[in-house]
Structure 1
Amino acid sequence: MIDAVFLADILGANDVYGGTAAAVLKSAAMMPNNDPMMLISAMAVVSRDLCFGITGNTTYEQPYLLARRFSTLDHLTKGRVAWNVVTGILASTARAVGAQNQVAHDARYDMADEYMELMYKLWEGSWEDNAAVRDRGSRIFADPSAVHSIHHHGENYHCDGIHLSEPSPQRTPLIYAAGASSRGRAFAGRHAEATFMSTSDMGFAKKTVKGYRDEAVRAGRRPDSVKVFNAATVIVAPTTKQAREIEQEMAAYSDETGNLAMFSQWLGIDLAKYAPDDPITYVESNAIQSIMEAMTKYNPGRPLKVRDLGGFGKIGGREAYFVGSVDEVCTEMMHWVDEADLDGFNLVRTVEPGGMTAFIDLVVPELQNRGAYKTHYAAGTMRQKFFGGGDGRLPTDHIGASFRY
């Protein structure tokens, strides 16, 4: 039983490592990179409860058009869609779309706040609940007086128009936001209903979760209104020895240069300029500041070296890393949930279909036996599945609800 498929996405070629895209092209590290939205309707038609998280970029996507695409998918999936709100970290994206310069880290979040306001206006305020009357007798589909043009003229975005889709099951899709920097947490506290991080340090995870909860309270929301997930690699087998053998096999598939290219993107540093034994030190950048902080400021182990990032395995500052028997993995995962106050995990770096099959066949039943995992899917939209009850729409304490007509 898996709640959702989460599809990461970037809009530019990762050319940070060595100043070119050669490394990601050779290793196929998120390259080529097709539009994940095209996949969702096909997966939705052959599933009933599986939900879908899709990345959308607020800095380079046109809000009026992105709002329509998400409404369309929310209709097609019957409300099983989430939007992972990102602001973009690649300078190559800015160049590709004709922007002169990449927008600075915190300024991107300022733009994203206004972007979200316009999206809420389109989703929540353009069509009244009773606008689509569907009166066949009088041959009227929608009451024009109940459909309203949105007039938004802000610092960064302008819109005068009616939202092109009638209200979907959720209206506003479930909102993800993953920023763990101080500015990112403030954004998540205001907008996110679910968020995720990537850390191997339980202390850092606990601190970050508390930060999200505190920011939600500052935004006038309940502390439990944001579900927090941590990325995790899970390698499990009936015995510890078998799990370690699978780990060794997976390591053989890993590409060192491709790994370094991905870390260069996340850190905003060209790691090709450094020797393998050079230490990773804190550098301010326009990339993912929380990963840099986790690897340097909050890394309790020995200082990480460039060669560490190129290999496959447990790396300080990266995701939680569970390898072992069913009992070992389940015990450690439950410890993380209890100690860091997590709501769950975002599974990464598995070799498919073996990795997911092993998790479903081995880990899920044991967690269910321990009373730590659900035994059936909840009904309704993605928001109802994650939070239980309600009408599937944004809760009244969410900023987006204030834009309802």
Structure 2
Amino acid sequence: MKVLAAMSGGVDSAVAAARAVDAGHDVVGVHLALSRMPGTLRSGARGCCTIEDSLDARRAAERLGIPFYVWDFSERFRDDVIDDFIAEYAAGRTPNPCMRCNERIKFAAVLEKALALGFDAVATGHYAHIVTDDSGHRELHRASDEAKDQSYVLGVLTSEQLAHAMFPLGRTPNKAAVRAEAEERGLTVAQKPDSHDICFIPDGDTRGWLADRIAPAEGAIVDRDGAQVGSHEGATSFTVGQRRGLNLGVPAPDGRPRFVLEVRPSSNEVVVGPREALAVRELAGARFTWAGLDPVASGIAVADSTAPDAVAEFACEVQVRAHADPVPARARVVPSAEGVLELAVTVEEPLHGVAPGQTAVLYVGTRVLGQCTIDRTVSAVPATAS
């Protein structure tokens, strides 16, 4: 099989490429150049997709004896990830750029080009694995190493993308084993630190970075009843769950701290309230996809005859952050108030600090069933109760 190995310059993707070679595949390595201006992406060992990383990826490919290329995806990355990140914050949402990068760059743009060039699959160093059922359908599952499991950020993959994806590290017991294997193979990235945070914000100051791109405007900070309790210099600098830096002029009646509950860009308001109001009992989103067969075809849900294309409620677990614990839930696909189908999830125990723009990934056991970008949440504590 002809395999394109996406090589970030880290140890995981290097070992994944090596294992694809060992499996007898015809492997070609590729590094994605995501910026034409090196200073706009973080440099150093903790970076991602920097000049140093491209050189590390090239050295690894040379060690493995495979062809290596650099593909310029800077314009696509800017349009689909960076601009989307800015637009989401301007709309009062909290996006996950790594989800968008996996969805639109690594498993859309790259896979599209790979298939056009005659490749059969794209291999990456993600920690997740694919299971093929008796009928030949592919399912995405958690990695063997729970601490390194990356199935959450892969929850955006569709059945078509899974059909051409390879994750050689999925059943590896832990990261230490990957580093040891890299040492044995003579790969210079064996002890290279993992990348962290957002690659296109060089100093990690997200608030300052956004302030340079979204013109701040003064507005009101209000409580859940709409009464003004403070003011702000720009709503986009606030995130759900934030406590510090709220600049409140009116204390809460009970004297307790207030937290950001909601950002309303249309009115330029920031809504604050008690900690318990951060508890969410329901979330929903119209932008949803299934990672493989949908719930009806999988046999875990039935079609809802009263609503075309909708499915009856089914049991699952939902995870709203990359390293959060999944919680038991009931999910369903139903028409929203606007008449658009949305994935709605009711949790059995409240989730805390969930914001529109985040991604909710559904699991059934270790299997990733699908995901949605959260459009709205319902607090477990009514406004009148706080």
Structure that is richer in helix per residue: 1
**TM, length-normalised to structure 2:** 0.24
| TM-score (norm. length: structure 1) | 0.23
